[in-house]
Structure 1
Amino acid sequence: MNINHYLAVFNNRRIAAAMFLGFASGLPLALTGSTLQAWLSDAGLDIKTIAWFTLVGQPYTWKFLWSPLIDRFPMPFLGRRRGWMLLAQLALAGAIAAMGGLDPQTHLATFAVLALLVAFFSATQDVVIDAYRTETLHQTERGAGAAVGVFGYRMAMLTSGALALILADGILSWQQTYWVMAAIMAAMALVTLFSPEPDVQHQAPKSLREAIIEPLHEFFSRDGAILLLVLVVAYKLGDAFAGSLSTKFLLDMGYVKTQIGSANKVFGMIATIVGGFAGAVLMVRWGLYRSLLVFGVLQALTNLGYWLIALHGAPSLPLLYFAIGGENLAGGMGTTAAVALLMSLCNPRFTATQFALLSALAAFGRVYVGPASGYLVVALGWAHFFVFSAIVAIPGLLLVLYLRKTITALDAPRDLIDSD
């Protein structure tokens, strides 16, 4: 079978929608994160006030609390998911534009409330996009959908991050920069309007109790449910440890900030995107089980690139690019397979609620391993710490092996790739 068969999965409206909606999902993130911090710093706010603004990102952590409402109450237009998407995108555009109309020095409290609303509407949009993508993509398209979604997300973060900083650095004012970002966000509503509806329409839960209780009951009634949840947490745990203190590690090894930035933010991002697309193509051929296993092994092994840097001692640019390139390439593949796994685990009736809960579990390592990593580095040293990060990946791989039949049943690939 030629390569065109595997690439054909990218050639349809569902995949195009997944990419542009990935962009819509990523655009607001920096506007309440790094870009917002730059604006507040330019406005002359002190470091303590700026630090408090990091809390506006809390809705991303707690989005599963209101995801049952999205499952239960569809909008009366554009189908079960696209109506919510349109509402969230227009609300985002309005809130971002309103931020641009204020001076944070003179309207700090109102500005903080608007930033919190941007994060809330953004988290809500994420819930709906995840549900829409899961319901719309066919089984054979899930890897490709995950890959193009990550690509769109990264491009959006560059837009609201690097591009916004460039615009605000003498080309436009901060207020005008946020208005530009609001206009781009509003344009995403057009993507929602032209995105296809799922082939199969699933009935929404009939009560709020059903929307809250049934997703949990349905999931935990499955064979191996607990082990599947452990797998969701464990699959990227080694990656989470390796990446938690990577910048501090590279600084300790003698690399300068410019070298780290170019390697991480540019070369690393390219490697992640290439890994995502390569993982999607391989998933069409291999299926979910084999992809999870192979990509998981690669994730563990490429963590040892940092171990080589620690052993080498002196800064080496070729070694730096080898380690970061390998880790991000394998990480992109692993992320593609991990997102495809989450989509496969969701019941179409409760996609918003189940995906929000599963994605929160998947982010557990990335959010919470930081403090443990600091103590481990002190106890083990950098070289042994990265060996430990590779070892931590082994339980996840063993779970993939143990759950082979369950994962294969989830995959259920079709012989032909659907395209519009």
Structure 2
Amino acid sequence: MNTVNSGAGSLLQSARVYLHPRAITLLFLGFSSGLPLLLVFGTLSFWLREAGVERSLITYFSWVGLAYGFKWLWAPLVDRLSIPVLSALLGRRRAWLFTSQCLLIISLSGLAFANPLLDLEHMAMLAIVVALSSATQDIVIDAYRIESAGERLQAAMAATYMAGYRIAMIVAGAGALAVAAWAAADSNLYDPAAWKVAYLSMAACMLVGLFTTLVISEPASVEMDEETLQQREKVISFSENYAHLPDFIARFLAWSYIAIVCPFTDFIRRYGSQALIILALIGTYRISDVILGIIANVFYVDMGFSKEEIAQIIKIYGVVMTIVGAGLGGILVNRFGVMRILFIGALMVSLTNLLFAWLASIGHNTAALTLVISLDNLSGGIATAAFIAYLSSLTNIQYSATQYALFSSVMLLFPKFLGGFSGGFVDSFGYEPFFIGVSLLGLPVLGLIILAHKNIKR
């Protein structure tokens, strides 16, 4: 009996970690991080299709998501540079958060007043600003999470971050569609004023992140390990050897070496020739679901599903199933190891994508849509949990912000580029061949997982 009470008390004591201020902070920052993605991706695709924009043009819009794929290019700048005045007032991390969140509010408000039928190019530019600002915010939040607490709190902070992120996806997906349907004179007809209300509401929701940034504290600076200090000594020596150069050039070269070169050379040094296999796996692991996701909302509209059906089945129920899948994936990874579940998750995602071909063959059917979304999102959640664990195992804590930005960028770069052609493919061949082809694209990933197996940290 005492053992049982002790076990229950231990579980309760462990659960209290979620009441830590840092864990609560990551819930709100996760919300701020998850909100913009669908607003330049799925929700925007729905808006454009309802307005009558051609499928091929809509899928070209998905290329704004390449900002997430190239964020490793400016991650070192965010990681090292300070923003004049703001950094002195808020600290380096909070200054970057504040700036990116202000830009998000402004650009989302600009999208609200844009008209896709009159000025599609203007909408595209605003969507690019949203994506760039959002990607920058993600870089800072990743760095903040890593630097603001020790190892004991990292798992809890990651969990609350994911919860906030998923809640934001419901708000930006189902919430935005529900607001647009509510504000429209007739929810079955296109009403630009309704979309203005929806996007202004989403811009207002970004105030959650902005307020969080203003009330949290700046994390302490990360101390360099011995290897990093040795690299810094090499940089100092380099600067001395090139003292004849203008001072700002010597300083820039030294900074570039520490901020940009070191994180990448560290990765290559640790994994050698296998680094290419690892990067290929990272760049293609999510290829099936990313490409499918680009055309998904267009597909739902073409199949005759209403805003209310999409909001209820996909944007709410589907997100819940993703969270369930992620939870199950975490348990499976803990029980069977990362690589096994990474393989099983990739196989499940590839197979469940075939269900969309079946749905395309039967047309509008809410029961079939519910079944497809349930299995697809459950599989995606399992695969995502394993994939995050794999990426974490590859990261050196000394360069976690830049390396994590590199990995998450590589993860989306090729799939999003390829997905931009999905609308043209569907126009030429139809939905069923498209979904079958997307499913087949996921099969080579299985071979890469086998090749990369020996690189996982146990």
TM-score, normalised relative to structure 1: 0.72
Residue identity matched to 2:11 = N
1:216 matched to 2:264: yes
* Alignment size in residue pairs: 398
User: Is this contact kept in 2: 1:146–1:336, CA < 8 A?
Assistant: no
CA-to-partner distance for each residue in 1:242-298, whole Å, 9 max, x for gaps? Answer: 76777899999xx76469946544432221122123334555x44xx8144225314
| Counterpart selection for 1:68 from 76, 80, 84 | 76
Aligned to 1:25: 33
Match of residue 282 from structure 2? 232
| Equivalence map 1:9-408=2 (5 Å) | 10-33=18-41, 57-74=65-82, 75-97=87-109, 113-136=125-148, 138=151, 140-141=155-156, 144=159, 147-158=162-173, 161-166=176-181, 168-170=183-185, 175=196, 177-195=198-216, 197-198=218-219, 201-202=222-223, 207-223=255-271, 224-237=274-287, 239=289, 257=305, 261=310, 263-280=313-330, 285-286=334-335, 290-301=337-348, 303-305=350-352, 307=354, 321-364=370-413, 366-368=415-417, 370=419, 388=440, 391-399=443-451, 401-403=453-455, 406-408=456-458
Could you report, residue by residue, the CA deviation over 1:147-201 in whole angstroms, capped at 9, with x for unpaired residues?
3254244234237632442454259765555443333223321212344655763
Q: Do 1:235 and 1:296's aligned partners in 2 also have CA atoms closer than 8 Å? A: no
Give distance in 2, aligned partners of 1:278 and 1:293: 14
Q: CA RMSD in A?
A: 4.8
Distance 1:365 1:115, change over 3 A: closer
Partners of 1:35 and 1:238 lie apart in 2 by 20
Contact 2:28 2:212 in 1 (8 A): yes
Identify if the C-alpha distance between structure 1 residues 177 and 249 changes in structure 2 by more than 3 Å, giving closer, same or farther.
closer
| CA spacing shift, 1:69–1:322, aligned 2, 3 Å | same
Moved more, 146-155 or 350-359: 146-155
CA contact (8 A) 2:56 2:422 kept: no
CA distance in 2, matches of 1:76, 1:104: 41
Q: Do residues 4 (structure 1) and 11 (structure 2) align? A: yes
8 Å Cα contact 1:250/1:260 also seen in 2: no
Give 3-state SS (helix, strand or coil) of 1:201's partner.
coil
SS of residue matched to 2:139:
helix
Q: Find the aligned partners of 2:219 and 2:451 in 1 and give their Cα distance.
A: 32
* Identical amino acids, percent of aligned pairs: 28
What is the Cα deviation at residue 73 of structure 1?
A: 0.7
Q: Which moved more, 1:120-129 or 1:342-351?
A: 342-351
Could you list the per-position Cα deviations for residues 304-325 of structure 1 after superposition, in whole angstroms to 9, with x for gaps in the alignment? 3455786897688766544432
1: distance between equivalents of 2:40 and 2:134?
10
Per-residue deviation at 1:24? 0.9
Distance in 2 (alpha carbons) for counterparts of 1:329 and 1:140: 21
Distance 1:322 1:40 in 2: 27
Q: Please tell me the residue identity of whatever aligns with 1:221.
A: R
Secondary structure in 2 matching 1:88: helix
Q: Secondary structure at the match of 2:409?
A: helix
Unaligned runs of 5+ in 2: 1-6, 186-190, 233-253
Assess, with a 3 A threshold, how the Cα gap between structure 1 residues 396 and 20 changes in structure 2: closer, same or farther: farther
Q: Say if 1:355 and 1:123 are closer, same or farther in 2 by CA, change over 3 A.
A: same
Deviation by residue 1:29-53 (Cα, 9 ceiling, x = unmatched) = 34445555677789x8976997586
Q: TM-score, normalised by structure 2?
A: 0.67
3-state DSSP class of the match of 1:76? helix
Q: Tell me the equivalent position of 1:414.
A: none
Residues 192-221 of structure 1: per-residue CA shift (max 9 Å, x gap) = 234465576346997134212222112211
Q: Higher Cα Rg: structure 1 or 2?
A: 2
Looking at structure 2, the residues matched to 126 and 382 of structure 1 have their Cα atoms a distance apart, in angstroms, of 31
Q: Secondary structure at the match of 2:457?
A: helix
C-alpha offsets along residues 381-407 of structure 1, whole Å, 9 cap, x if unaligned? 68975874564342244145322xx42
Letter in 2 for 1:151: R
Paired with 1:38 and 1:321, the residues of 2 have a C-alpha distance of 19
CA contact (8 A) 2:172 2:202 kept: no
The aligned amino acid for 1:300 is L
Counterpart of 2:250 in structure 1 is none
Q: 2:110 and 2:443 mapped to 1: Cα distance?
A: 48
Q: 1:363 to 1:198 in 2, by over 3 A?
A: same
